[in-house]
Structure 1
């Protein structure tokens, strides 16, 4: 697997996690989040694997009938074999957010899983 293959696979997993059907499915979302997952959300709240799976279906972007995340400027870097850092922006309705996530793949039998995520809301008028 090349460097770009690993980054591309992590990007594909990130995009899948933004899909409302995946976000509404604790089973599928649980396969994309690492059991040691931690997030610092745009609100400043700290999320763990268990809390995120229990509440993700009720989060914005989790309903096919509501606005969905629209990612842009997604890029990644291979930090080490099986460890990728992604950065990107999203729009959800009028809310713009910058994101940083770390994805890891422990072995070939397991897919890429999000280990850490951080989101920062961007105020209107900020480039």
Structure 2
């Protein structure tokens, strides 16, 4: 496996981990996967930063082990530069379908791969 493929694989692993209710419910675990400079533009258009997201993530949909879980599809990525990966994918959470784009960057030392930016767009019912 070449370095670019391995970078994409590691970013995908981080993305899938952030869909796990146990990770989402834990400020400590989620904090290891979000970059300190993290910014998200959610499906509602709302902008969230690292601290806001860590505070709110446990209450977001998909964060309860007893509730609905994210079902990802069409997950793919490309290495933009060393230490920088762009992922795109779709999710279903119950009846809600969303398209996602995220940028992952490799942190210094033991920080590993962290999500730097995330954009979500809800897909209206009946739209391809």
Q: TM-score range by the shorter chain?
A: over 0.9
Q: Could you say if the C-alpha distance between residues 108 and 4 of structure 1 is closer, same or farther in structure 2, counting changes exceeding 3 Å?
A: farther
Give the gaps of 5 or more residues in structure 2.
Answer: none
Shift of 1:109: 2.3
Superposed CA deviations along residues 31-74 of structure 1, whole A, max 9, x for unmatched, are 00000000000000000000000010000000010001000000
Give the TM-score, by structure 2 length: 0.97
Cα distance between partner residues in 2 of 1:68 and 1:106: 28
Give the gaps of 5 or more residues in structure 1.
Answer: none
Shift of 1:2: 1.2
**Equivalent runs, 1:10-25 vs 2, <5 Å:** 10-25=11-26
Give the TM-score, by structure 1 length: 0.98
- Matched pairs, number: 127
The aligned residue for residue 59 of structure 2 is 58
Runs of 4+ in structure 1 deviating by more than 3 angstroms, as ranges, are none
Cα distance between partner residues in 2 of 1:41 and 1:110: 25
